[in-house]
Structure 1
């Protein structure tokens, strides 16, 4: 990293295993790995490693007596960590270990051997899962075993669908689209099978609109296309209103959701309620 202003010295941010970064300044642009470790109070020095965190998220080891040039490398951050422990974590169903408390998203992707069209997500109990970027640095020393899942990127406008919802839909064989229109995000379940002999159609597309606070806030109602009538020709109760979305006219099924458990409920819950509403539909 180049010096700033009139200061001829060379700064670098050094993190401990808790990912706490502290600015250090060196007079010489070339420093040894052991100097970086000593600056971070890593003792004994030979039980620690210095690791440059590159802009693309990759890690580069700096040997104890290796001269490392702080100029023009683009590596403004260095991690100092002990090497006498292993840290366990899971990617999908694989149990993996890493010799340092910190790992980058780039390295996680390499370990998982992910195709380019897959994203990596960190499971966070009780909260929306976090999408991992290559440049992210994750602390593996937190309580419990860190868990990551890989999912194909099926969203059309950003990361609007939590990974646990994607996992549910993919694992259960649902075909779906994520559509962004204005401020509304819609999940379209494609060709959902309907109860046999109950309606004028055997299958229909079902639209669920996600509120701004989802998954902490519950979706309300759902929508069908094409319009459904019962086998008798009658329209199901509370299904007479039309709704325009994504260039299509949908039949609104007014089924309000009065119970929702943040951190527990999601599309799994909503799909179950939709199936129940369809099965119990009456004039």
Structure 2
């Protein structure tokens, strides 16, 4: 019920009005009260406080100001029906965009600062500091309010950084970006191009998809792209087939359109441009699976990828820290094994079923 609705209700003879009460989390809930001129003590009582707790009652006005309501002071509900009540006999002074407020707690969250200051969700909030850089305050952060002095919060439009990727300018809200993310923003496949970072006054540097670019670097110019596979029109070389797989395996790989090879050195099945789930810094890898001469009696175990898979969100992927050199390249080993309920059966298991394990293992690590 709004202030106007309360007034109308009283005019019709109703004895109760509705106010909204919250603690310092600003989670307001409606409470009925039997007078249109409640005192601070009355508001504290219906909020569940007793006088021994020395409750601090504030009326939250539409302009964002907080007005103290003393124990015997009557609140004017025509101004606002929202009240904040806290168990604290003293208040802490803060400013939000130069507006001074007395806050009845020694901590305050970024979300509450945003609500009190009516700050746009797209804007950043900073706690101003004298002897060190201002602190970016996220909504979930809790800020300890100092006992003396005033904590000053300011909202700012978020900083953005720009980068030219082969003529297309991308915008980043972060001062760092991975090469893979920059390419994705510009709609380029990072696996299909050689990426060269140009910085004024520095040698050109070739980037890998997982490399992180510092967009604050002075003189940063652009990422220039060169196609990895440019030829004079000759047909690509025939795939290497040092040993045969089971016919069902080969038919499956061909049906999916994979470019695959078998290499007798180490008995590797190599699958080129194997697609991976979204969430990694690359979209495709070279996949290697070891197929021993006694296959299918001997099970296929684990798998290897190049380049190493890295989550865009960061964080180590369990059991992938070991590498193996295959064809002169350092492949990342994914140590994934069948459990007791899915033991290898040479009559039904093959490359196809192992690829299902590969796909699910890669997807699992990015929540797919």
> TM-score interval w.r.t. the shorter chain?
0.3 to 0.5
Larger Rg: 2
Instruction: State the TM-score, normalizing by the size of structure 2.
Output: 0.34
Instruction: State the TM-score, normalizing by the size of structure 1.
Output: 0.43
